[in-house]
Amino acid sequence: MRAPPTYEIRIAGRLDDSTLAAFAGLEVTYRDGETLITGQFDQAALHGILEMIRSLGLHLLEARRVPVSPSRRSG
């Protein structure tokens, strides 16, 4: 069975701790005043995360599928 694709989601600004909790289990990094959330999602999960971003009132900058580097592949 193939793993779901990996996506990077860029959000304007830095998330506070309570908002960050909504993305538990995902890789979250900060770069140049933006929050970068990376994870593996199927289409339904991706749409759910994008809806959550909208409902939290966050400013979505970009969501894109990225190739998985060998260091990011799990087992």
Q: Which pLDDT tens digits describe the chain residue by residue (75 residues)?
A: 788 899 999 999 999 999 999 999 999 999 999 999 999 999 999 999 999 999 999 999 999 999 876 555 554
The pLDDT value given to residue 2:
81
The pLDDT value given to residue 70:
58
The pLDDT value given to residue 68:
75
DSSP string, 9-50: EEEES---HHHHGGGTTSEEEEETTEEEEEEE--HHHHHHHH
The pLDDT value given to residue 74:
52
Domains and CATH numbers, the chain: 6-66 (3.30.70.3400)
Report d(CA 12, CA 60) in Å as an integer: 7
